[in-house]
């Protein structure tokens, strides 16, 4: 087996609307809805991937063994120069907790900034 990339991941969140507002309003991802049977689901889409949201206590099966808001730590790659990313994030009233700083990505050296989403997940935004 050879895995090529990921399609989506799920974040367990305290409030779906707060998460949609952050990922759309701060990070510019597209809000989407889709159905699982007759239940409406919520996500954000970016590039060829998406993030699905499960509201804590109302998760969908199957789910993580211990779904917990604020337990994620992930890196998103942008083609936007990192200094422009910093300006945009700050202009939207969001705090950068670290960076720009040099890190190691899947393909080599990256420059990253770190921020927190409404559930305190650690979101790293980087470019090569």
Enzyme catalytic residues: 124
Nearest CA among 54, 49, 61, 71 for reference residue 20 = 54
Give the start-end residues of each E strand in the chain: 8-13, 30-36, 39-46, 49-55, 73-77, 98-105, 108-116, 122-127
Nearest CA among 33, 35, 37 for reference residue 50 = 33
Q: For residue 107, what is the DSSP state?
A: T
Residues 89 and 26: beta-carbon distance below 8 Å: yes
């Amino acid at each position: 087996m050879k895995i090529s990339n990921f399609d989506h991941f799920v974040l367990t969140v305290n409030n779906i609307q707060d998460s949609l507002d952050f990922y759309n309003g701060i990070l510019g991802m597209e809000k989407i809805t889709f159905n699982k049977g007759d239940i409406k689901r919520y996500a954000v889409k970016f590039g060829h991937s998406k993030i699905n949201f499960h509201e804590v206590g109302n998760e969908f099966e199957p789910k993580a063994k211990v779904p917990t808001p604020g337990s994620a730590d992930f890196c998103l790659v942008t083609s936007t120069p990192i200094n422009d990313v910093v300006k945009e994030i700050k202009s939207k009233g969001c705090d950068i907790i670290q960076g720009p700083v040099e890190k190691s990505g899947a393909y080599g050296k990256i420059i990253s900034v770190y921020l927190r989403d409404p559930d305190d997940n650690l979101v790293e935004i980087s470019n090569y």
